[in-house]
Amino acid sequence: MAMQAKPIVIWESESKEEDEMAYNFKETMNKPERLAPGHRMCAGCGGTIAVRNVLRGLHEGDKAVIGNATGCLEVSTFTYPYTAWEDSYIHNAFENAGATMSGVEGAYNALKRKGKLDETYKFITFGGDGGTYDIGFQSLSGAMERNHDFVYVCYDNGAYMNTGIQRSSATPMYADTTTTPVGCESNGKMQNRKDLAAVIAAHDVPYVAQTTFVQNFKDLHTKAEKAIYTPGAAFLNIMAPCPRGWRYNTPDIMEICKLGVETCYWPLFEVVEGKWILNYEPKKKLPIEDFLRPQGRFKHLFKPGNEHLIEQFQQEVDRRWDDLLYKCAK
């Protein structure tokens, strides 16, 4: 019998001392905020949690230019003449965030070559799943293929939350949204969500990673810092739950993220120079209903007679998980 290859798994370090050297939670959280308080994002919003932790990946003294596709984050953090951003900030239309930052990064390099600029700048673009998976995908794909030295961060909350919780291609199957409403003739969105991290990895960029809010933000922080300081194009896909759209108890956001990882709905992985690396494998994979049950957008799945819908959801999660294990075993 042929032996099966095992996936490459980067586990947490075994000693406390190694953990402290690699990631100090208190020290990281005490870094100066680059997204100031006083913005208009909802209480408990996953988007701002993602942004604040990504920006903590910047090294002291380094400046940043922030791009932002239209969405919740933009309309709530920048209302002229007011801004919550401590770094230079560019508001983009839905469709051109990738293209805009490509131009800014190119202009910066030209000024550096001419000796007109000495300071170090990093370039980071934020977009929700609507502006990333859908409307902004064309410009994002072009920027990735050209390998511009910037990071694109998708805070993925699984729908167009800013305009009223409409479905996007990031919306999971059977989710109840305002454009895929649950009723006597519908069980919500009928299509599976797009695997955007795999799509971007197919662009052969230096760094792609998927993460969320677990391990005291260690996984997110480590990947954000790596993405920012990897030369060339980098992409971060961050599951950022939305309490309004997902309809869960707002203080439970960290538990929701943990369940997403432990059920393998949202696995943690990296693609480094084309090599797939699994960062975490649950000791005991939880059933998908543990992730679905706390969310009001899936409450119809737990009505009598809908057991087959949960089974179909589980089958898709299992298929994608097996596919990821195969990629990481190569």
> How far does Cα 232 stand from its chain's mean position?
19
25 Cβ neighbours under 8 A, 6+ residues apart: 216, 217, 218
Q: Where does the pLDDT of residue 7 fall: very low under 50, low under 70, confident under 90, or very high at 90 and above?
A: low
| pLDDT reported for residue 6 | 54
Report residue 197's pLDDT band, with 50, 70 and 90 as the boundaries: very high
**104-135 tens-digit pLDDT:** 999 999 999 999 999 989 999 999 999 999 99
pLDDT for 80: 87
Tell me the backbone φ, ψ of residue 128, rounded to 5 degrees: -75, 180
Binned at pLDDT 50, 70 and 90, residue 23 comes out as: confident
The separation between CA 224 and the C-alpha centre of its own chain, rounded to angstroms, equals 10
Exposed e or buried b per residue across 25-53, where buried means at least 16 C-beta atoms within 10 angstroms of its C-beta: eeebeeeeebbeeebebeebbbbbbbbeb
Beta bridge partners of 79: 82
DSSP 133: I
Distance CA 45, CA 281 (A): 27
Question: How confident is the model at residue 68, as a pLDDT?
Answer: 97
Looking at the chain, the whole-number percentage of residues with pLDDT higher than 90 is: 90
Report whether pLDDT(8) > 70: no
Confidence of residue 330 (pLDDT cuts 50, 70, 90): low
**Can you spell out the DSSP letters for 200-240?**
HHTTT-SEEEEE-S-GGGHHHHHHHHHHHHSSS-EEEEEE-
Name which residue leads in pLDDT, 298 or 10. 298
pLDDT of residue 9: 54
Q: Which of 11-25, 76-90, 158-172, 279-293 has the lowest mean pLDDT?
A: 11-25
Q: What is the mean pLDDT of residues 291-303?
A: 98
Instruction: Report pLDDT digits (tens) over 132-163.
Output: 999 999 999 999 999 999 999 999 999 999 99
pTM of the model: 0.93
What is the crossing angle of helices 46-55 and 218-229, to 10°?
Answer: 50
CATH code for residues 16-329 = 3.40.50.970
